[in-house]
Amino acid sequence: MAKTNNIAKRFDGKVAIVTASTQGIGFSIAERLGLEGASVVLSSRKQKNVDEAVEKLKGKGIEVFGVVCHVSNAQQRKNLIDKTLQKYGKIDVVVSNAAANPSVDSILVTQESVLDKLWEINVKASILILQDAAPHLTKGSSVVLISSIAGYHPQAAMAMYGVTKTALLGLTKALATEMAPNTRVNGVAPGFVPTHFADFITKDAAIRKQLEEKTLLNRLGTTEDMAAATAFLASDDASYITGETVVVAGGMPSRL
């Protein structure tokens, strides 16, 4: 990431909620928005993770508040929005980052319970969190959905996960239409980023090398790369962009 003192303050006075934001890409997004001046609301399933992430961001001088929120729990989703409003009085940015990939099975042998979980966390939760948040979004607000390059090419070992990310490409378009003109909705489709979530792919040196060779930049992405793209789309620098998904994958094949 750029040095802190070189980062623009595009989110001064803004309030941003980031789901699944105590580690990995979500944490880097929360950090970036906070370094740019946002009051950031962190969330994830475990209180311990929330507390640790809040302390890390406070240590960087970021105004941050943490709420436990399992995105498939209706009461916890409502609580996330209510607590944000009680603390800050408004919502300017929502980044929906929560995702699950509980299976490496091919689609036709995936258990129904796993299909339900993938749909529930990766697609439905984004819709439901926005149902709660939408009435409170300010004019000029922004939503960013975190999709995946796998949404363009669902590959074996993560095929159904990829299909749920394909659904987010359509959801981004549909919500952009529905929430215009007061709220912009865009997506970020990360390539392969070494995080705890992607361990099963990126920790194998041979597979990692293959992935690096599929990029044009000969490296995997960083969580900071994803955060920078998300911050751009959420900011007023992207005020004439809505309904789009930006692929952040080092030139890895996605689409024309």
The residues annotated as belonging to the active site are: 161
193: three-class secondary structure by DSSP: coil
Q: 174, 245 in Cβ contact below 8 A?
A: no
Amino acid at 63: E
The arrangement of strands across the sheet holding 137-146 comes to 64-68, 39-44, 15-18, 91-96, 137-146, 183-190, 245-248
Cα end-to-end distance, the chain, whole Å: 28
The H-or-E segment that residue 93 falls in is strand 91-96
Report angle CA 212, 215, 220 to the nearest 5 degrees: 50
Q: 221, 191 in Cβ contact below 8 A?
A: yes
210: three-class secondary structure by DSSP: helix
Q: 106, 156 in Cβ contact below 8 A?
A: yes
Closest C-alpha to 98, from 69, 133, 122: 122
